[in-house]
Amino acid sequence: MKQIENIMLTAEGYLELEQELNMLKTERRPEVIKALKEARALGDLSENSDYDAARNEQAQVEARIKELEFKLEHSIIADASKCDSVNVGNTVTIKYDDGEIEEYKIVGSLEADPFENKISNESPIGKAIIGHKVGEEVEVTSPNGNFSVVITNIA
């Protein structure tokens, strides 16, 4: 039997998934059930597009509920406050070898959003800097080639 890998999340990411699951169970599911009842009341189900649409939406909602329950059940909440080295949940400032300075929040892969400077612990930079401390120079291996970064701050 295949071992299930745990999913790394920040406390905020875990809370967002919990809130979405709660909303789906308490709001969306009842709305879809109501739409199904109303469509069923229209009569002939074989040519009832409203019924088909409601059934499809019900399947999507139930699939997302199962997905969220699985993720929450198999997640580990990262506690970045316990260490002085880079970990999931930290906001890290790094200086590239060309002098450019960037700040990233290290998150689990489910929460990654490069547009908000949230990078995954599984990304090339994330993998490279995890476990390192302020002042350390780290070699990053990426598909575009290798480069160095210096960790200037961990929050």
pLDDT 10s digits, 22-69? 999 999 999 999 999 988 887 776 777 888 889 999 999 999 999 999
The reply to whether 96 and 70 lie within a common domain is no
Angle between helices 49-73 and 11-23 (to 10 degrees): 150
Residue 103 maps to a domain: yes
For residues 155 and 150, what is the distance between their CA atoms, to the nearest angstrom?
Answer: 15
The reply to whether 66 and 98 lie within a common domain is no
The reply to whether 65 and 118 lie within a common domain is no
Q: Which residues of 71-92 are buried (b: 16+ CB within 10 A; e: fewer)?
A: beeebeebebeeeeebbbbbeb
The reply to whether 87 and 70 lie within a common domain is no
- Over range 112-130, report the average pLDDT: 94
The reply to whether 104 and 61 lie within a common domain is no
pLDDT at residue 60 in the model = 97
pLDDT 10s digits, 74-103? 999 987 776 789 999 999 999 998 999 999
Residue 135 maps to a domain: yes
For residues 120 and 152, what is the distance between their CA atoms, to the nearest angstrom?
Answer: 19
Q: What is the pTM of this model?
A: 0.75
The reply to whether 42 and 88 lie within a common domain is no
CATH number at residue 106: 3.10.50.30
pLDDT at residue 31 in the model = 96
The reply to whether 119 and 144 lie within a common domain is yes
